[in-house]
Amino acid sequence: MTQGPLTTEAGAPVGDNQNSETAGVGGPVLVQDQLLLEKLAHFNRERIPERVVHARGAGAYGTFTVTADVTPYTRAAFLSEAGKETEVFLRFSTVAGNLGAADAVRDPRGFAVKFYTEEGNYDLVGNNTPVFFIRDAIKFPDFIHTQKRDPYTGSQEADNVWDFWGLSPEATHQVTWLFGDRGIPASYRHMDGFGSHTFQWNNEAGEVFWVKYHFKTDQGIKNLTAGEAAVLAGTDPDSHQRDLRESIERGRFPSWTVGVQIMPAADAASYRFNPFDLTKVWPHADYPVIEIGRLELNRNPRNVFAEVEQSVFSPSHFVPGIGPSPDKMLQGRLFAYGDAHRYRVGVNADHLPVNRPHATEARTHSRDGSLYDGRHGGAKNYEPNSFGGPAQTGRALWQPFDGFGGGTGDHPTPRHAEDDDFVQAGDLYRLMSEQEKERLIANLAGSISQVSREDIAERAIANFAAADADFGKRLEAAVRALRD
């Protein structure tokens, strides 16, 4: 089926797209060949700045279906009844690698879900691990600098990685996850996802609950060993992206069972550790995971740049009935993600097809700027106005936080009975089989042994020893063997 003639960006038909206009046969090219200049100028600008983190990614569209009644906990419309379906877009990614990096590497995976709900878009921006390396966003730039290229060598340096982790004992739990068997997923389809942070749900009566999200892969967990990953990264750097795309093309739609842990708001103050600490999990014995839905991916993007690279996710995109918590990492991300996208894609990034609401319409008083498409016409751009413009509802999306008295200041997070940086890392280690422990020790020792100074290695090992004496003893011996 013909799509009509090729045109310029302005819509004029193109007569010759094979030859530049020249001053005679074989002569120099003329500036008046505006098609040539337009094509070259556009080509020079085809790339936008890559994400500082999570640059390497893949995505797909799908459907989230509610399977349980959660109206006692949240008034979110897209969760209002069993059987209700909502369109979603999910972007997977690695954290540290740049846009051209390999997929099969030891790195956390981003797991970002955009729900196109009838009350606006809800973005749940998580990872494939339930915890993270730090608990306060003020440390995030420093942490990421250690994972990226050193300003002098231009390479990722073990000294930087382990110096920071050794001096930041709260990272011990996440590092134990990262260097364990689940540190290198075999594909995006074969890994779990987590909201990681604690979020607020509130119901019609205004009651507040704290929740954590879990996405359990229906394909089963599959991982790569360090050796398998090294081969795959070298032979097929696009392995995870290819697997996701081809699985959907073949009709083998990947899916995840979605569940939540729910904590009544009153439990938080007296819980044995800070429930808003991103370096901690909530034990399932305390708060079981309750199944609420199923997420299936069933449609590939038609253009990777337009729909994957230009997709933007922000934890600040909430809908009525869902909101933030006092989690200090989440609080920082509420600003940082939107700001990153305004810089990287443009102030109107949310107007792009992949980002704008699909089940409702965005009605704002923001105008102009890069990518603005004039959609508002001549409508007034202020509120309140008497010309029928959109106005506030008078009802907040989430409930205010209670019980956080005192003056403002650079306060450390309040301590609970078990607010220890090593307890959960030790618990995780002791849950592992002997074979899993051996692989964890080997992975950690292989990385720590690369540092240039003994004190960096000793400090790193000491954190794992604080988590479990056997863990530290075996790791020390393995590092010593490699360094000797």
To the query of whether residue 317 is one of the catalytic residues in this protein, the response is: no
CA distance 172 to 165: 7
Q: What's the distance, CA 70 to chain centroid?
A: 25
- Confirm if 461 and 162 have CB atoms less than 8 A apart: no
Place of tokens 């997929």: 103
Show the DSSP H helices in 168-237 as ranges. Answer: 172-178, 226-235
Residue by residue, DSSP assigns 314-347 as -TT---TTEE--S-HHHHHHHHHHHHHHHHHT-T
Count CA atoms closer than 13 A to 163's CA, side-chain side.
Answer: 13
Phi and psi of 220, rounded to 5°?
90, 150
Structural tokens at position 229: 């990953």
CA distance 468 to 473: 9
- Catalytic residue among 121, 127, 128, 300, which? 127
- Confirm if 261 and 210 have CB atoms less than 8 A apart: no
Opening angle at CA 135, ends 131 and 138, nearest 5:
135
Question: Beta partners for 223?
Answer: 185
What would the 3-class secondary structure string for 193-209 be? EECCCCEEEECCCCCEE
Residues in the chain: 484
Phi and psi of 478, rounded to 5°?
-70, -40
To the query of whether residue 173 is one of the catalytic residues in this protein, the response is: no
Angle at which helices 328-344 and 140-147 pack, to 10 degrees? 60
- Catalytic residue among 54, 197, 240, 358, which? 54
> Among all residues, which ones are annotated catalytic?
54, 127
